[in-house]
Amino acid sequence: MFFYNFSESDGENMTVFVTGGAGFIGSNFIFYMVKKHPDYRIVCIDKLTYAGNLSTLEPVLNNENFRFVKLDICNREEIFKLFEEEAPSIVVNFAAESHVDRSIEDPGIFLKTNILGTQTLMDACRKYGIKRYHQVSTDEVYGDLPLDRPDMFFTEETPIHTSSPYSASKASADLLVQAYHRTFGLPITISRCSNNYGPYHFPEKLIPLMIANALNDKPLPVYGEGLNIRDWLYVEDHCKAIDMIIHDGKVGEVYNIGGHNEKTNIYIVKKILELLGKSEDLITFVTDRKGHDLRYAIDPAKIKRDLGWEPDTMFDDGIVKTVNWYLENREWWETIINGEYQNYYEKMYGNR
């Protein structure tokens, strides 16, 4: 099996493929990497689905060590061509359909992108060689925990037990990634993180949706009684963890990423209203999500012990930073809500 240790001198020859880099976490990861490793070449591959927003990447688009390629990770021929051309050392796969509610409405695209897209990328890695393939997964592959057992947490040993078509597709991809390691010796790592929040979060997910609706004085739709619990991770802490895993993580291993920031949904919604000085009368309880997972909670002991990772931002600070970011970057989310962001690619690349 092929094990590789990175050294300082790798920097100038290092090309990193970041798939899904026009989305929420991928774009934050690109900004993190450009700052932390300015000598790395970063190639972002993104299909620009409804969730991809190229304008987010505007600050790096003209950076000479950065390239954007509009491409579906399921497009085997073009993906293989790009591997041949760019010879990446590392692939970090963020590209996915990521919204649970959409997976309940229409599971098909989740299976295609999240499973078959992962296969395509790994087949290219096998053919052209790679130092590391990293799969960005989720704690949702472990299913959920009961609300009345605060002593229970997801560890890397917790059995896979999925609830939604989204989590089932992510779990399937994880199993395939592990199979490619065992069968073909592909040098992989997997990270499973809890719910992220922070800048550039698409306003269909809980926190940005509630901020945008509150600012527009629209109702805040809380599923069920709002008692479900999520374990919130500030996106930059997630990026820091992935950077550590791709450089120092052990090939073949899974790392859970989370910082013990469990909150009920209703707590978060009320906190956002309080920070924005809006009335709780905006809260509207709506029909619960089908199969709604009760509680997610990560035990991050392994990544802390093995790689020294710890989160820098706890929820009470992170939510203030996030609300302020949405206040200061109104145009970013307003162009999403009015649909204009989808014209950005044509405007930038239409005549190139």
Site of interaction with ligand NAD (CB under 6 A): 19-20, 22-26, 45-49, 51-52, 72-74, 94-98, 113, 117, 136, 138, 170, 193, 195-196, 202
Range in contact with ligand TYD (rule: CB under 6 A) among 37-45, 53-61, 218-226, 309-317: 218-226
Helix axes 165-184, 118-128, angle to 10 degrees: 20
Query: What is the C-alpha separation between 348 and 91, in angstroms, rounded?
Result: 26
Judged by CB under 6 A, the residue of 205, 238, 240, 295 near ligand TYD is 205
Choose, from 166, 180, 200, 344, the residue flagged as catalytic.
166
Read off the tokens for 10: 């790798």
| Residue 265 binding result from ligand TYD, ligand NAD, none, given CB thresholds of 5 to 8 Å by partner type | ligand TYD
To the query of whether residue 140 is one of the catalytic residues in this protein, the response is yes
Helix axes 315-328, 265-276, angle to 10 degrees: 50
| Residue 209 binding result from ligand NAD, ligand TYD, none, given CB thresholds of 5 to 8 Å by partner type | ligand TYD
Q: Could you identify the residue written with the tokens 């209203």?
A: 273
Residue 132 found at the interface with ligand TYD (CB under 6 A): no
Q: Could you identify the residue written with the tokens 């130092």?
A: 131
Query: What is the C-alpha separation between 130 and 111, in angstroms, rounded?
Result: 25
b/e map 132-169, b = 16+ CB within 10 Å:
bbbbbbbbbbbbbbeeeeeeebbebebeeebbbbbbbb
Residue 282 found at the interface with ligand TYD (CB under 6 A): no
To the query of whether residue 166 is one of the catalytic residues in this protein, the response is yes
Read off the tokens for 142: 């472990």
Closest approach of Cβ 19 to ligand NAD, in Å?
6
| Residue 94 binding result from ligand NAD, ligand TYD, none, given CB thresholds of 5 to 8 Å by partner type | ligand NAD
Catalytic residues: 139-140, 166
Which parts of this chain interact with ligand TYD (CB under 6 A)?
100, 195, 205-206, 209, 221-223, 228, 230, 265, 289
